[in-house]
Amino acid sequence: MIKKWEVNKTDTEEAEEFAKKYKISNLLASILIHRGITTDTDVSKFLHPTRMDFYDPFLMPDMDKAVNRIMEAVRNKEKITIYGDYDVDGITSITVLKNFFADSYIDVMTYIPNRLDEGYGLNKDAIREISYYDTNLIITVDCGITGIEEIEYAKKLGIDVIVTDHHEPGEELPNCIAVVDAKRKDNTYPFNQLAGCGVAFKLIQALATKWKIPENEYLKYLDIVAVGTISDIVPLVDENRVIAKLGLMLLPQTKNIGLKALMDLCGFKKIDSNMVSFGLSPRINACGRMGHAEEALNLFLAKDSKKTGSMAKKLNEYNVERQKIEKNIYDEAIEEIEKEKENPAIVIGKENWHHGVAGIVSSKITEEYFKPSILVCFEGEEGKGSGRSIPGFDLHEALMECSEYLEKFGGHSMAVGITIKKEKFEDFKKAFIEYTKSKNISGIVPVINIESKIELKDINLKNVKDLQRLEPFGEKNKTPLFLIENLKIVSIRALSEGKHLKILLKQDNFFIDAIGFNIGDLANEYKIEDKVDIVGTIDINVFNGNENIQLTIKDIRKSI
């Protein structure tokens, strides 16, 4: 698929002056300028964040009300239950609150809804079960902002509720003790893009302030909060970057024995955002997807190091199982898609697909075909599905137009979840595809945003290592992509049974190794002496103790 390359314009003179002022490489200087990090304060906070960069937690809506009610519950020895979500953000949020209370000798219960049986958020059956344990106060984490009916039900059972969340509220806020969510319309908190675990962290920061607990007694949880923040794909800027950067610094010496066991099992040589995103996150999320979120939580709450190894292995097993199920669904989905490739959108459904992994498969399909996709998993007469979109097409708006065929749906412009009756599936599919046609999305092409065009002579170990100061990478702080033109292929071959591509490239008298993952088939399209333009990331590959610069290919085309 042809992709559009968009290269940022760089003012070389400005970048050089910026680099001298802050004693950084020209390459890093140009990136910071492109990303709007130009003042002394911004540069300092971005490159060297400290605990002083955290905002006052009491600036968050209803934080004072939440803290006062929790303090009252603790004084009166009331029973408290923390209610969270089954993904990494929810599990880390519960971990932080539970361990903070435990360290203050306050015993609280926890509840995570089963993804397969209960779905996301508060539900009445769960609240009724919680009431059986004489709970007086529920604190939600990473959920609750839309649980208006459920919270009313809790009140009827005599249970107070504090909502801590980071999702968008509806027109009406829940009628409860406190709604701590910086996405509220009346919010005055300086940053409203925290993850759920970030909001939970602000809550313990506020409680620690009231209880006069030393800073280090809540800052020590930043390792867990960083894992949740990076995994939840929130923008890694402002306070999220402070959380992620400081938290990653704590990970190598984490005191959470469950987290340490899981990191050891992942086997990553380097502890960075990549390790979190591709090592920890899939294994933790796999528990929730397979209906075993409690096991991930138990690992992070574990106190016996003799058990954490086997517990971490269990998470790994769930992830392997998830990968197998995902591959089977993906292969079956591709067969169906190939039968109707002419459609501008992909809507497919099948019996016995595991809806816990539908979203991952939908994401892969949308990336491969660059079309909106919805995958529905049928069990009997009802189907549950997930959808993903492409930039420029509002998936949630599309569902609004086809809502007459749906039992319920939710999400946002790029990702949705739906529930649908089997008998209405074909009508929904037809309506959705017709709506997509009306939007004429065939003209939308994938865009690759490139930091700058560079030459091999400008790349050395020193400035590549300087780029690592941009870590942690994530949403709104992507790994920088560079364009290098007119590279001559010196050698080219496929690796791993044709899966990956390995090339040696030359520009003038400078050479660089390049690796292209999952594009091994291109070894047949290019030959030695071909001139190519490549977009990719610049990395350092360590082998046998030697450091070498390596280009990881994002896209490639023949030079004009």
Q: What pLDDT sits at residue 120?
A: 78
Q: Assess contact for 463 and 31: CB atoms under 8 A.
A: no
Per-residue tokens: 478:
């992507």
* Sign of the dihedral defined by the CA atoms of residues 444, 448, 449, 452, in that order: negative
Q: What pLDDT sits at residue 440?
A: 87
CA distance readout (Å), 437 to 289, 430, 440: 33, 11, 5
Q: What pLDDT sits at residue 138?
A: 98
Q: Assess contact for 23 and 32: CB atoms under 8 A.
A: no
CA distance readout (Å), 534 to 219, 496, 518, 559: 42, 22, 16, 9
Q: Classify residue 259 by burial, with Cβ atoms within 10 Å: 0-12, 13-18, 19+.
A: buried
Q: What pLDDT sits at residue 349?
A: 94
Residues forming beta bridges with residue 500, ordered by sequence position:
495
CB contact set of 432 (below 8 Å; sequence gap of 6+): 345, 347, 374, 398, 399, 402
Distance CA 72, CA 278 (A): 41
One pLDDT digit (tens) per residue for the chain, 560 residues: 789 999 999 888 999 999 999 999 999 999 999 999 999 999 999 999 999 999 999 999 999 999 999 999 999 999 999 999 989 999 999 999 999 999 999 999 999 998 778 777 899 999 999 999 999 999 999 999 989 999 999 999 999 999 999 988 888 999 999 999 999 999 999 999 999 999 999 999 999 999 999 999 999 999 999 999 999 989 999 999 999 999 999 999 999 999 999 999 998 988 999 999 999 999 999 998 888 999 999 999 999 999 999 999 999 999 999 999 999 999 999 999 998 888 999 999 999 898 888 999 999 999 999 999 999 999 889 999 999 999 999 999 999 999 999 998 887 888 888 999 999 999 999 999 999 999 988 888 899 999 999 999 989 999 999 999 999 999 999 999 999 999 999 999 999 899 999 999 999 999 999 999 999 999 999 999 999 999 999 999 888 888 899 999 999 999 98
Per-residue tokens: 527:
């030959």
Cβ neighbour number for residue 267 with a 10 Å cutoff: 8
Distance CA 323, CA 393 (A): 29
CB contact set of 303 (below 8 Å; sequence gap of 6+): 257
Domains and CATH numbers, the chain: 4-10+448-558 (2.40.50.460), 53-314 (3.90.1640.30), 340-443 (3.10.310.30)
The continuous run of DSSP H or E covering 512 comes out as strand 510-516
Rg (CA), the chain: 25
Per-residue tokens: 190:
């300086």
DSSP character at residue 447: E
Per-residue tokens: 27:
């390459």
Using alpha carbons only, give the angle 362, 365, 367 rounded to the nearest 5 degrees.
110
Q: What pLDDT sits at residue 560?
A: 85
Q: Classify residue 476 by burial, with Cβ atoms within 10 Å: 0-12, 13-18, 19+.
A: middle
Distance CA 48, CA 27 (A): 18
Residues forming beta bridges with residue 538, ordered by sequence position:
551
